[in-house]
Chain A
Amino acid sequence: MTERPKNFGFSEDETMLRDSARKFFQDNCPVDKLHSLVAYDHDVNRSNDCNWDRDLWQQIVELGWTAVCIPEAAGGVGMPLVAAVALAEEAGKAAFPSPLLATFNATFVLNACKSDAATKALTEIAAGKATSLAVTNQQGSWEPADTDVSIDGGKLNGVSYYVQEARKADQFLVSATHADGVGLYLVDSNADGVEIVPDNIIDLTRDQAHIEFNNADAIELAAPGTGIDVINQALPAILCIVSADMVGAGEWLLQTTVEYAKTRVQFDHPLGFFQAVKHPLVNVMLDIDRAKSLTYNAACAVDTEPEAAEKFARMAKSQAGDMAVFSSSRAVQFHGGIGFTWECFVHLFFKRQMHNQVLYGDAKYQRAKLADMLIGDIA
């Protein structure tokens, strides 16, 4: 077993990657540009367009960022999870609309499949195909056994719900039940019998849909009976990636609110002079730092200590989820009247954080899982 490195595995390559991602998002996705891209229409009955910058996505693909965790044998870069975590954190700091996180999630599921078909799918991701998971049922259950899709004779039927970045994805990894158990399947997003029905969602930086399968042809990635194990193996990485997005978005909310608290004057003092504002902002910082450290630790465990990865990843997601809510609520509150308006950029991050914190299980769900692991099942 590899020894757990003190630096969480952030060697020079990972640090350089993070720094270039930070610069890339600062240059190409500043918040005013993001606001015009995704929030040009405030009407609650606005058209449900999928607003994103496809050219920017293409640049990211060409930079190789979507393939950082794909093995070199499948045409990827072969870096550890901390590299994807670093990218996800920077993407979160920019609330970047893209299928980057969805594609990372799919990558880790495919890495766990260990089949020729999965390796081929990884090659396609490395070549630029955006991919997303379709593994959730109508109730929004995060248990890998729960799917409303079935497979029979190589054909998928049923509906997958809460599929992230569905209209940005080129292909889906679908969990489906079979007489022999749950398996995993690959379908093209524009294949016959695949209909993407967009949800009307609050988060303006994201895209979500349910997908109807009607005798859709699918390629088997993980045989019936092995799908649950495969998803469980990938789950810690998935939790790390969404946690990293929340850490990045949390830092944006903190720094933006701090800037406002330095400049906005009331009662003859900048807001930050008042401890009713100062102390909760410090608490937001403490919360972010805990979430960040736990996320790096969990990613490092995925890379070097897989037996501890689930425990640490659930800790990270729990802390990041609570922090996401707290950082959002304080940012809106401390911006005061302007913070409650559509024109203030804070709502973009507020909505992304509220969306993030429920994905793959909210904080209370993670803690219930951890309680079973740490305290034992309830008698």
Chain B
Amino acid sequence: MSDADAKDSPEQAEFRAQCQDWLAKNHPGRPPVKLPQGALELYDPAALAWLQKWQKSAYDAGMLGCDYPTEVGGGGKTDCQAIANQEMQQARTPYLPNVIGMGMAAPTIFFHSQDDVKAELLPKLLSGEEIWCQGFSEPGAGSDLANQQTFAERDGDNWVINGHKVWTSLAHFATWMILLCRTSKDDKYNGLSYFVVPIKSAIGNGVTIKPLIKITGGTGFNEVLFENLVVEDRYRLDDVGAGWKVAMTTLAHERGAGPMVTPASGGMSLEEGETVSTSNAMSLVDLAQSQKRNNKTAADDPMIRDEIVKLVIRQEGMRQTMRRMTVPPLTDHPMRIPLQSKLNYTELFQDMAELAYHIEGAASSLNVTDENAPAGGQWPFAFMNSFGMTIAAGTNEVQRNILGERVLGLAKSK
């Protein structure tokens, strides 16, 4: 019996056993199509469909949304989502496709919308039948999120929305969007309001979605244009002008710092039979053993060895810090570790991919399409892609401000 099991309440212990039993019989196996690294990069409808089937089956088995009340499609349990997550990870299940829905939209709707809207939206959100996207970022509102220009104007029982959202992952599959926008130009923060708005049903009728092309040349996210989109007032969350407060609920959950535990599965390796994983520092060892530098194996170069081991240590440090996060007496400020995690993994992945350039040398110039590219060209590709992670969800510079201010208590920077 592990230490985690030993601390389970009777309800948790029973639920854990149910999860184990179900997962033993119902693991979906290998995907029939290639999956991207994470749900935010989904672009292939066949990959989405397969993952949605997995999410629905996990939801029907009671493992997603277990801590939400039954009236909104949840399991009505207490502190059981973390148990389900542990067991899914243990069973090495695929990731869930509706990550923005579960991680950001669901807790925000749950804490800020009216009851009939919760009952209408949350069941299909948790089951993954309806995919959600997030309409926060704009051309002029990235790190400075409160600088929203998208405007919602009241029209009787409706709101009419005009504006421009960018860097919107999953919009091309989304049925719904959580939308932060402006309802008053008089006050930067108190002039914001928060809505859930239909996307799929309004395409061509107030909503236009265009793919944005990443530096890799690949698609993956979108811009979303609103031209006189009409939204019912019941889809407004909390009061008019309370949008910033509601957005804080969303962002707290995005950082793993909100009261609801986000349903999460994962652990399944994406590339069966392939050894390259640009998210595991030990893959650099294989790369270095296969590459030559000045007629010598790169793995024998003391400078390369030192750099690889540095990254392996950082990776282990990150894992052990996540382990420590779950032990309250070994953490100081409660937000100290949760707020670090984004910095830790995004910069680790970026630095790993950068080191691969040095290991590959001249061959790192080869694109994924070149048959001579080492490891299929995945490392330079991963380096380019890594900036998506260090920029998204609050740039790492903004994250450092948040840590410095909220955890260390330093004066707020402009």
Determine which residue in A272, A282, A290 has the highest number of CB atoms from chain B within 10 A of its CB, and name it.
A282
Proximity string of chain A (278-293) to chain B, C-beta cutoff 8 Å, 1 when within and 0 when not = 1101110110011111
B188 part of interface (Cβ distance < 8 Å): no
Q: Are B410 and A258 in contact (CB under 8 A)?
A: yes
Residues on the A chain within 8 Å of B316, using CB: 294, 297, 312, 315
With A6-B4, A278-B404, A297-B316 given, name 12 new contacts (CB 8 A): A6-B326, A6-B327, A7-B330, A15-B329, A258-B409, A282-B408, A289-B317, A292-B324, A294-B320, A367-B310, A368-B302, A379-B297
Determine whether the beta carbon of B313 is less than 8 Å from that of A319: yes
Q: Is residue B2 contacting chain A, with contact meaning CB distance below 8 A?
A: yes
Residues of A within 8 A of B410 (CB): 258, 261-262, 270, 272-273, 277-278, 281
The yes or no answer to A142 lying at the interface (CB within 8 A) is: no
Chain A 259-283 against B: per-residue CB contact (8 Å), 1 yes, 0 no? 0011000000110111101110111
CB <8 Å contact, B344 and A286: yes
Residue B147 CB within 8 A of the other chain: no
Is the CB of B312 closer than 8 A to any CB of chain A?
yes
Which stretch in B158-166, B270-278, B335-343 binds the other chain? B335-343
Q: Which of B64-72, B92-100, B232-240, B395-403 is near enough to bind chain A?
A: B395-403
Given known contacts A8-B323, A275-B401, is B308 in contact with A371 (CB within 8 Å)?
A: yes
A5 adjacent to chain B (CB < 8 Å) = yes
Q: Does B294 contact A (CB under 8 A)?
A: no
CA distance in complex: A287, B109 (Å): 37
Tell me the residues in window 318-364 of chain B with beta carbons closer than 8 Å to chain A beta carbons.
318, 320-321, 323-324, 326-327, 329-330, 336-337, 340, 343-344
Knowing A275-B401, A294-B316, A375-B285, the reply to whether A269 touches B305 (Cβ < 8 A) is: no
Select which of B2, B310, B312, B326 is within 8 A of A3 by beta carbon. B2
Residues of B within 8 A of A279 (CB): 397, 400-401, 404
Distance (whole angstroms) from the CB of B90 to the closest CB of chain A: 13
Pick the residue among A3, A273, A282, A367 that contacts B412 (CB under 8 A): A273
Closest A residue to B414 by beta carbon equals A273
Closest to A277 in B: B410
Complex CA distance for A274 and B403, rounded to whole angstroms: 14
A278 lies within 8 A of B306 (CB): no
Contact A293 B299 (CB under 8 A): no
| B-chain residues with CB within 8 Å of residue A286 when the two chains form the complex | 340, 343-344
**In-complex Cβ contact of B320 among A283, A293, A318 (8 A):** A293
Asked if A376 is at the interface of the complex by the 8 Å CB criterion, the answer is yes
A285-B408 contact in complex given A6-B4, A7-B327, A374-B282, C-beta closer than 8 Å: yes
In the complex, 20 of the A-B residue pairs with CB atoms within 8 angstroms, ordered by the A residue number, are A3-B2, A6-B326, A10-B327, A10-B330, A270-B411, A272-B404, A275-B400, A277-B410, A278-B400, A278-B408, A278-B413, A279-B401, A281-B408, A285-B403, A290-B313, A291-B317, A294-B320, A297-B316, A315-B317, A375-B288
Q: Is B407 an interface residue (CB 8 A)?
A: yes
**B27 neighbours in A (Cβ, 8 Å):** none
Question: What is the CB-to-nearest-CB distance from A92 to chain B, in angstroms, rounded to a whole number?
Answer: 15
Residue B60, interface by CB 8 Å: no
Residues of A within 8 A of B (CB): 3, 5-8, 10, 15, 254, 258, 261-262, 269-270, 272-275, 277-279, 281-283, 285-286, 289-294, 296-297, 312, 315, 318-319, 364, 367-368, 370-371, 374-376, 378-379
Q: Is the CB of A8 within 8 A of B4?
A: no
B323 adjacent to A258 (CB under 8 Å)? no
Residues from chain A with a CB closer than 8 A to the CB of B326 are: 6
Say yes or no: is B155 at the interface (Cβ < 8 Å to chain A): no
Q: Cα distance A275–B405 when bound, in Å?
A: 11
A290-B314 in contact given A273-B410, A281-B408, A375-B305 (Cβ < 8 Å):
yes
- Shortest C-beta distance, A303 to chain B (Å), equals 13
What chain B residues lie within 8 Å of A293 (beta carbons)?
317, 320-321, 323-324
Say yes or no: is B300 at the interface (Cβ < 8 Å to chain A): yes
**Which residues on B sit within 8 Å (CB–CB) of A290?**
313-314, 317-318, 320-321, 344
CA–CA, A63 and B318, complex, Å: 35
* CB atoms of B300 and A378 under 8 A apart: yes
The answer to whether B401 touches A278 (Cβ under 8 A) is: yes
Select one of B300, B317, B321, B413 contacting A379, CB under 8 A: B300
Q: B309 at the A/B interface (Cβ < 8 Å)?
A: yes
Number of interface residues of B (CB under 8 A): 48
Tell me if A262 and B336 are in contact (CB < 8 A). no
A114 to B130, CA, bound (A): 65
Closest to B308 in A: A375
- Across the interface, which residues of A come within 8 angstroms of B405, CB to CB? 278
Known: A7-B3, A8-B327, A293-B324. A272 touches B411 (CB 8 A): yes
A-chain residues with CB within 8 Å of residue B3 when the two chains form the complex: 3, 5-7
| Closest B residue by C-beta to A294 | B317
Tell me the residues in window 44-59 of chain B with beta carbons closer than 8 Å to chain A beta carbons.
Answer: none
Contact A262 B285 (CB under 8 A): no
Chain B nearest CB: distance from A100 CB in Å? 21
Residues of B within 8 A of A275 (CB): 397, 400-401, 413
Q: For the complex formed, measure the closest distance between the CB of B210 and the CB atoms of chain A, giving whole angstroms.
A: 35
**B residues near A297, Cβ cutoff 8 Å:** 316, 320, 323
A311 to B411, CA, bound (A): 40
A6 to B319, CA, bound (A): 12
- Cross-chain contact A370 with B397 (CB below 8 angstroms): no
A135, B306: Cα distance in complex, Å: 27
A367 contacts across to B, CB distance below 8 A: 305-306, 309-310, 313
In the complex, A49 Cα to B397 Cα: how many Å? Answer: 48
Chain B residues near A281 (CB-CB < 8 A) = 404, 408, 410
Of all chain B residues, the one with the shortest Cβ separation from A286 is: B340
Q: What's the minimum C-beta distance from B203 to chain A, rounded to whole angstroms?
A: 41
Q: Shortest distance in angstroms between A56's beta carbon and chain B's nearest beta carbon?
A: 26
A294 touches B313 (CB 8 A): yes
Chain A residues whose C-beta falls within 8 Å of the C-beta of B412 in the assembled complex: 273
Q: Are A375 and B318 in contact (CB under 8 A)?
A: no
Q: Please provide the chain B residues from 216 to 273 with a CB less than 8 Å away from any CB of chain A in the complex.
A: none
Chain B CB within 10 Å, residue with most, of A274, A281, A290, A296: A290
Interface core residue of B327, B409, B410, B413 (most chain A CB under 10 Å): B410
Nearest A residue (CB) for B306: A367
Complex Cα spacing A42 to B164, Å: 65
Distance between Cα atoms of A281 and B401 in the complex (Å): 10
CA distance A5 to B285 in the complex (A): 29
* Chain B residues closer than 8 Å to A273, beta-carbon distance: 410-413
Nearest CB in chain A: distance from B241 CB, A: 29
Q: Which of B299, B302, B344, B400 has the most CB of A within 10 A?
A: B400
> In the complex, what's the smallest C-beta–C-beta distance from B164 to chain A, in angstroms?
29
Question: Closest CB-CB distance, A362 to chain B, in whole Å?
Answer: 12
- Chain B residues contacting A319 (CB-CB under 8 Å) are 313-314, 317
